[in-house]
Structure 1
Amino acid sequence: MDDDNYDSLSPEDRKIRDAQDRVRENEEQASLPYKWTQELGEVDVTVPVPKGTRGKDLTISIQRKKLSVGLKGKDKILDGELCREIKIEDSTWTLEDNQLVLIHLEKLNKQQWWENVLTHHPKIDTRKIEPADSKLSDLDGETRGMVEKMMFDNQQKQMGKPTSDEIKKQEALAKFMAAHPEMDFSNAKIS
């Protein structure tokens, strides 16, 4: 895609170009000997193999920056350099129903979309990826707590009310004042 030319297109022409690019991309991806999906932290590759294939019939190599899948004594189904580095210890493969090899690759950089699985295969436009909506319930406890606190504080600020930290300070000050009635706080500056 010629980005300079794209920027000068009208919104209608961009829609047409995007649709054409999507069709081309889908055709290119469909012609690969595997299907793949990704999330920010992982890539899953599905490789069809002849029905009845057993694990011992396969030669599979998962390396930090390389991947190959094949059947013993035959040409490799896929073989090449990975688009980005992976965590080998967290990447796995399984054989499903003796006809599908499922490969799970854990990305080293969990903040980057992959353009392709193997560098010599057609690329996708990562700017057009629309990540699946994540739900608060999908987050681990600590992250969820931070997000909920941020949401609460944002809501409070919009309504002109104190944030959770400001509420804690006010409560601590009120406790201190109650515990020390002998002190005069009339001239204290409280911020």
Structure 2
Amino acid sequence: MSSSEQDYEKMTPKEKEQYDKLQKEKEDAEQAQLPYKWKQTLQDVDITIPVPAGTRGKALDVVIKKKLIKVGLKGQPPILEGELCKDVKVEDSTWTIEDQKEVLVHLEKVNQMTWWEHVVTSAPKINTKAIQPENSKLEDLDGDTRAMVEKMMFDQRQKAMNQPSSDEQKKQDMFKKFQQQHPEMDQGENELINNSIDGIWQKD
């Protein structure tokens, strides 16, 4: 845990609420200053970039690579340019111009189990821990992926509350069950069994 996380944990609930509010206001102000708007799910990122009214596709210079993006008007400085937060699937990423006034860019994530902190690494970061699970469209995921995402979200919430992760909880439950089945075990033997469970868990 970093020193800032430790400081946060020491705050009272009221102090945490105030801190979170200030951080959100700061984040919103930083995002509002960007020359584009963006949103994401675990699978993709959608970016909306305003351009002068009447702009046609042939007047645009758009480049989408695995870890790079550039969007702008030909002969002018790019509106959006830089190294992407994470890799994208170039073949599944697209762009289009809408009503000759907005460029819509769709980026398909390679790693569909992580939230992006920003579109390009030079931009201000958002707090991905504050993203709500429903934004991920869990109902659109297949069974295994959905279970993995729900586990990830649960572990994230548990960490925020300084509680054990789902794996740690299962390990604790396993050890308690063993203790109940073998009440004759002394403390030394219990520690030995607990360490053995640790070893088995790490191998899995």
TM over 0.5: yes
**How much identity, in percent, do the aligned residues show?**
48
Structure 1 pair 19/75, CA: closer, same or farther in 2 (3 Å)?
same
Q: Deviation at 1:7?
A: 1.3
C-alpha contact 1:39 1:131 (8 A) present in aligned 2: no
Aligned equivalent of 2:15: 13
Q: TM-score of the superposition, structure 2-length normalised? A: 0.66
Query: How many residues in Structure 1 have an aligned counterpart in Structure 2?
Result: 143
Q: Give me the TM-score of the superposition, normalised by structure 1.
A: 0.70
Which residue of the partner structure matches residue 125 of structure 2? Answer: 123
Q: Note if 1:2 corresponds to 2:4.
A: yes
Greater percentage in helix: 2
Query: Which residue identity does 2:124 align to in structure 1?
Result: P
Q: Cα–Cα, structure 1 residues 135 and 19, in superposed 2: closer, same or farther, change >3 Å?
A: same
Match of 2:36 in 1: 34
Choose the corresponding residue for 1:76, options 68, 75, 78: 78
Is the counterpart of residue 88 in structure 1 residue 90 in structure 2? yes
Among 23, 26, 43, the residue aligned to 1:24: 26
Q: Which residue of 2 aligns with 1:185?
A: none
Give the match for residue 158 of structure 1.
none
Structure exhibiting the larger radius of gyration computed from Cα positions: 1
Structure 1 residues 77-120: Cα deviation after superposition (integer angstroms, max 9, x where no partner): 01100000000000000100000000000000000000000001
Structure 1 unaligned spans of 5+: 148-191
Q: RMSD between aligned alpha carbons? A: 2.0
Runs of 5+ unmatched residues, structure 2:
148-204
CA separation in 2, counterparts of 1:139 and 1:46? 25
Using the alignment, how far apart are the partners of 1:107 and 1:123 within structure 2?
18
Question: CA 1:120–1:55 in 2, change beyond 3 Å: closer, same or farther?
Answer: same
Give the drift of 1:135: 6.5
- In the TM superposition, 1:1-191 aligns within 5 A as 2-132=4-134, 134=137, 136=139, 138-139=140-141, 143=143
Q: Quick check: which one's strand share is greater? A: 1
